[in-house]
Amino acid sequence: MVAKLTVIFLILLCFLMGMFLTLLPWFKLNGFGEWGDNYLLAFVSEKAGFPLLRTAVSSNWARGAVTGLGVLNLFIAFWEIAHFKESVAKLEGEDFDKTE
């Protein structure tokens, strides 16, 4: 039972993080503004002395990289759904036989 819940929580975590990372860079959320108009990003780049950090993070290349990580998380979630029984068997320490 614990193994099944562990795999379910892993699937849920990967799916939610995948959706979050895939969509967040491209949509303007209420109260948060655009991806590049981030107060925390401006503060960190000024305090660290790297003004190019803000430019790099607000570029479409960085948005694409974050979206790629989100798609990778979605792929992992769907792979875990497809191989649910095998993952549970491995967590329980049993040999999974596909011929059953």
Q: How far apart are CA 84 and CA 88, in angstroms?
A: 6
Between 91 and 16, the more confident residue is 16
Between 37 and 33, the more confident residue is 37
Q: What are phi and psi of 96, to 5 degrees?
A: -90, 120
Residue 19 is inside which H or E element, if any?
A: helix 2-23
pTM of the model: 0.78
Instruction: Give the pLDDT band of residue 32 (cuts 50, 70, 90).
Output: low
Instruction: Give the pLDDT band of residue 38 (cuts 50, 70, 90).
Output: confident
| Structural tokens at position 30 | 């209420």
